[in-house]
Amino acid sequence: MTPFDYRRAVDQTEALSLAAAGHCRFLGGGTNLVDLMRQNIEAPAALVDVSRLPATIDVTSEGGLIIGAAVRNSAVAAHPVVRAHYPMLSRALLAGASAQIRNMATVGGNLMQRTRCSYFYDAAGSRCNKRDPGAGCDAIDGLSRNHAILGTSEHCIATLPSDMCVALAALDAIVHLDGPMGPRSVPLLDFHQLPGTTPHIETVLRPGELITAIAISPSAAAANSRYRKVRDRSSYAFALVSVAAGLDVADGRIRDVRIALGGVAAKPWRAVQAEDVLRGEAPTRENFLRAADVELAAAKPTEANAFKIELAKRTMAAVLGDLTGAGA
């Protein structure tokens, strides 16, 4: 690990002023960043520890939530309002990592976690356009079973490993930021970037900018929601495919539907096309599968991960089926 300066901020103002000094990274729980620094993939000159900034979950008068960036993943998952009104978020968090890591990991850090592509991690022996822009990508012709099938480019096929972000994408979460140019907010769906020709640029965060909170709003679809994660072992593994979905059915027709996929792209993949197909239709398995077909039509798999297309379709239909209850 390359030597670095360490400063702990007591509040947001101090965090921003410490970050203004130069090449630094904000440190949350450290579950990803410390590992990346140990692997010499990240080597910031300084860490500004924001893990002790106020960690509150505020409930708005409408029943929405403003979740501080320093709140631990385990605290969000266990929060009574999240469990009752945003079950897909609670379940997505509980599907991620292990209990120990959820106790450490912060909400802000979860948004910033980097891909687990093994070629990205193999600094000594592999080419990676994320690590070394322009170097090439050894994943594309390599062991790509876990890699992306949607929104890829010829420069990168890495996935975003976050479970939490998949649920937040389905919930239309808003990311609150603050930085040298002042505070702003960005829809979570616009926060992560697809690789294109610049896979090393992963988010829209500007230099020195800090994630301060995540905001979500209540809806009938959010209250009737689920998260299912398909993986090689039943716990403590990254997703092959995951689905966060919420469904609101009235008079036998779908009034509102939210679907996001994980494990398939460099960002949480909001299934906008599938939602368009389903809105106003009857909640039947045929319609769910038809919508999934439309969403996955643009998939560009490698030989090793083509199975993810069928897996994503079936998982999507299964989760939506679960949400309709026994009557569907």
Which chain residues interact with another protein by CB under 8 A?
1, 3-6, 8, 27, 29-31, 34-35, 38-39, 47, 49, 51, 74, 77-78, 80, 83-84, 87, 90-91, 94-95, 97-101, 103-104, 229, 234-236
- Give dist(CA 288, CA 188) in Å, integer: 25
Q: Judged by CB, which is closer to another protein: 245, or 291?
A: 245
Q: What minimum distance in Å lies between the beta carbon of 76 and another protein? A: 12
What's the min distance (Å) between Cβ of 24 and another protein? Answer: 13
Angle between helices 285-296 and 307-324 (to 10 degrees): 140
Q: Give me the least distance between CB of 234 and another protein, in Å please.
A: 8
Using only C-alpha atoms, what is the Rg of the chain? Answer: 19
Cβ closest to another protein, residue 41 vs residue 294:
41
Are 246 and 227 spatial neighbours (Cβ–Cβ below 8 Å)? no
Measured from the CB atom, the residue of 84 and 282 that comes closer to another protein is 84
Determine whether 6 is exposed, middle or buried from the number of CB atoms within 10 Å of its CB (0-12, 13-18, 19+). exposed
Amino acid at 146: N
- What minimum distance in Å lies between the beta carbon of 56 and another protein? 17
In the complex, minimum distance from the CB of residue 2 to another protein, in angstroms, rounded to a whole number: 9
In angstroms, the CA 67 to CA 79 distance is 11
Long-range contacts of 179-187 (CB under 8 A, 24+ apart): 179/16, 179/206, 179/207, 179/208, 179/209, 179/210, 180/16, 180/20, 180/206, 180/207, 180/208, 180/209, 181/206, 181/209, 183/212, 185/215
Q: Which is nearer to another protein, 49 or 122 (CB)?
A: 49
Helix (H) or strand (E) holding 103: helix 99-104
From CA 221, how far away is CA 204, in angstroms rounded? Answer: 28
| Residue placing its CB nearer to another protein in the complex, 49 or 172 | 49
Which lies closer to another protein via its Cβ, residue 15 or residue 97? 97
Q: Smallest distance from the beta carbon of 197 to another protein, in angstroms?
A: 31
In the block, tokens 């988010």 appear at: 203
As measured in angstroms, the least distance from the Cβ of 221 to another protein is 16
Nearer to another protein, 52 or 279 (CB): 52
Least Å from the CB of residue 103 to another protein: 4
CB atoms within 10 A of CB 290: 17
**Quick one: 232 or 286, whose CB is closer to another protein?**
232
